[in-house]
Amino acid sequence: MNMKKVIIAMGLAFGVSIAASAADKKPVHEGPSVSVPAGDIKFVDTGVKSDGKELKAGPAYGNLANGRHGTFVRAPAGFKSAPHTHTEDYYAVVLKGVGANYQAGGKAVPLPVGSYWFQRGEESHVTECISDTDCLFFLVQPGKFDYVLSK
């Protein structure tokens, strides 16, 4: 058998091995299925304030203070955070209003409803609600939420 055929055969065997081991893994379920109307989400103060305006958080799953979570975040119209970081990466989707999320010293790019951003952990950035109406974001984060002012 020539070298090219050996390499192809090894690659096929490796691929079959990976597929078989993936098929053996059981899915992880996180609890019972739930449906929560928007009006039933309980929002609490986050302690993140700017110019007398405060972000509010409403849990969807997990606990933002302890670890992996999905959380609704309300930002008042005109809210602009100070430059800050988070330890963990996170993803966010704009559900209401127009937001912006950009590196400290950068330019705000309007993010209307349906937009998303990814924020790398430990990277200084600013988050805003640039619309005349309040904003609602949904964040997914693999670890706890923290808010560390940049130096």
pLDDT in tens, 109-126: 999 999 999 999 999 999
pLDDT of residue 11: 54
pLDDT in tens, 47-96: 999 999 999 999 999 999 999 999 999 999 999 999 999 999 999 999 99
**Domains of the chain by residue range:** 42-149
Q: Is the pTM of this model over 0.75?
A: yes
Residue 137 near residue 94 (C-beta atoms within 8 A)? yes
Mind giving me the DSSP string for 3-62?
A: HHHHHHHHHHHHHHHHHHHHHHSPPP--S------GGG---EEEEEEETTEEEEEEEEEE
Residue 21 has pLDDT above 80, yes or no: no
Q: Among residues 127, 131, 126, 71, which one has the least CA distance to residue 97? A: 131
Over residues 122-135, the mean pLDDT reads 97
CA distance 73 to 94: 10
4 is written with which tokens?
Answer: 């090219």
pLDDT of residue 29: 85
Per-residue pLDDT band at 5 (split at 50, 70, 90): low
In CATH, which of 2.30.40.10, 3.40.50.970, 2.60.120.10, 3.40.50.1100 is domain 42-149?
2.60.120.10
Residue 42 has pLDDT above 80, yes or no: yes
pLDDT of residue 28: 83
pLDDT of residue 25: 84
Q: How many CA atoms, within 13 angstroms, populate the side-chain half-sphere of residue 49?
A: 6
